[in-house]
């Protein structure tokens, strides 16, 4: 078990400067992947990423990835992936997963509906489930859900927890579905863009002063992002969502899902769902 440092901000030393990493109040001491949150959520990781591997997912689904290895066409791989999910989680035979007409009211909630729900309202029930999944798997605590999340005993945090629980109750292993979606996304990046470590992505925001700034370096601040955020590959598109544009070199390992994987799942043009933490960004005004 990894135990975080007691200090509020863990400092990662570089040859040229000292960079703030992930504060202790924004992370959990344990998670379900191969790196602790204090590392994967840091600026050091942003600059020097490595693969993030969720516990047991590839081992449990090794037959899927063996089949994918033998397919050269990306669209065919996507079809196989969706078919595999449908069979493995009994989407069309919910009674085999233990549901019946009286207890299965939320049984048809699946990963697609979660992502579409996020596109309509990232602070809704589906957004709470997705942020809760990131919290559980990567150890990064959400910082905003309809309101800033600062007090674990406060009403905003209770609302987030209630929405997360309501989104998961009576569903069919939603978080396990998300485990496989993330792992497939990373597999596809390796197949389509071998050797690529980063993508330059943009995010439009209003009221930048409300963001948590860990290191105020003028036009290149280090900010603490929510544990799951939307970016876009289109700077022009980002400008439609705010007066400021944040541009970041995002590690491929921290992209949970993107619009090119399955057209139509995400509503935004060029949209990428990015796992948060501390990021060095470039700030521009329109």
Residues 6+ apart with CB under 8 A from 35: 45, 50, 52
Do the beta carbons of residue 246 and residue 202 sit within 8 Å? yes
Task: Round to whole Å and give the CA distance between 34 and 24.
Answer: 19
**Do 235 and 184 fall within a single domain?**
no
The residue length of the chain stands at: 286
Q: For 157-198, how does the pLDDT look when each residue is reduced to its tens digit (9 = 90+)?
A: 999 999 999 999 888 899 999 999 999 999 999 999 999 999
**Could you tell me the sign of the dihedral formed by the alpha carbons of 105, 107, 108, 110, in that order?**
positive
Q: How far is CA 176 from the centre of its chain?
A: 14
Residue 194, class by beta-carbon neighbours within 10 Å (0-12 exposed, 13-18 middle, 19+ buried)?
Answer: exposed
**Do 183 and 229 fall within a single domain?**
no
- Matching residue, tokens 């999340």: 149
Q: How far is CA 163 from the centre of its chain?
A: 18
Q: What is the DSSP letter of 103?
A: T
Domain membership of residue 256 as a residue range: 198-285
Question: Is 215 inside any structural domain?
Answer: yes
- The band of 103, judged by pLDDT with boundaries at 50, 70 and 90, is low
> What is the pLDDT, as a whole number, of residue 67?
98
Q: For 237-276, how does the pLDDT look when each residue is reduced to its tens digit (9 = 90+)?
A: 999 988 899 999 999 999 999 999 988 888 777 999 999 9
Q: How far is CA 262 from the centre of its chain?
A: 17
Q: For 5-42, how does the pLDDT look when each residue is reduced to its tens digit (9 = 90+)?
A: 333 333 333 444 556 678 999 999 999 999 999 999 99
Alpha helices in 169-206 (DSSP H): 174-192
- Matching residue, tokens 């990493």: 21
pTM score, two decimals? 0.90
**Do 63 and 184 fall within a single domain?**
yes
> What is the pLDDT, as a whole number, of residue 11?
33
Question: Is 46 inside any structural domain?
Answer: no
Task: Round to whole Å and give the CA distance between 238 and 203.
Answer: 5
Provide the domain count of the chain: 2
Q: How far is CA 78 from the centre of its chain?
A: 20
| Mean pLDDT confidence for 53-70 | 97
**Do 174 and 204 fall within a single domain?**
no
Residues 6+ apart with CB under 8 A from 175: 129, 132, 133, 136, 137, 168
**Do 202 and 188 fall within a single domain?**
no
**Any long-range contacts for 72-76 (C-beta under 8 Å, 24+ apart)?**
74/188, 74/191, 74/192
Look at residues 192, 215, 240 and tell me which one is the last residue of a structural domain: 192
Could you tell me what percent of the chain has a pLDDT over 70? 89
**Do 154 and 126 fall within a single domain?**
yes
């Amino acid at each position: 078990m990894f135990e975080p440092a007691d200090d509020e901000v863990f400092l990662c030393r570089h040859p040229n400067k000292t960079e703030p990493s992930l504060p202790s109040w924004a992370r959990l001491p344990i998670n379900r992947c191969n790196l602790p949150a204090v590392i994967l959520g840091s600026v050091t990781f942003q600059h020097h990423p490595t693969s993030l591997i969720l516990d047991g997912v590839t081992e449990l689904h090794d037959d899927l990835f063996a089949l994918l290895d033998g397919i050269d066409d990306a669209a065919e791989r996507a079809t196989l992936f969706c078919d595999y999910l449908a069979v493995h989680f009994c989407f069309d035979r919910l009674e085999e997963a233990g549901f019946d007409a009286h207890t299965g009211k939320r049984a048809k909630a699946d990963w697609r509906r979660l992502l579409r729900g996020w596109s309509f309202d990232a602070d809704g029930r589906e957004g709470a489930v997705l942020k809760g999944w990131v919290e559980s798997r990567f150890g990064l605590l959400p910082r905003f859900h309809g309101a800033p999340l600062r007090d674990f005993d406060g009403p905003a945090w209770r609302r987030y927890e209630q929405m997360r629980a309501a989104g998961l109750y009576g569903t069919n292993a939603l978080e396990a579905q998300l485990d496989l979606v993330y792992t497939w996304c990373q597999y596809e990046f390796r197949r389509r863009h071998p050797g690529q470590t980063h993508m330059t992505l943009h995010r439009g925001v209003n009221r930048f002063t409300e963001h948590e700034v860990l290191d105020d370096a003028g036009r290149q601040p280090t900010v603490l992002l929510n544990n799951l955020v939307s970016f876009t590959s289109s700077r022009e598109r980002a400008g439609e969502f705010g007066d400021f544009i944040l541009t970041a070199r995002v590690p491929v390992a921290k992209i949970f899902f993107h619009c090119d994987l399955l057209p139509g799942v995400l509503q935004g043009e060029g949209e990428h769902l990015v796992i948060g933490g501390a990021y060095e960004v470039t700030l521009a005004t329109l």
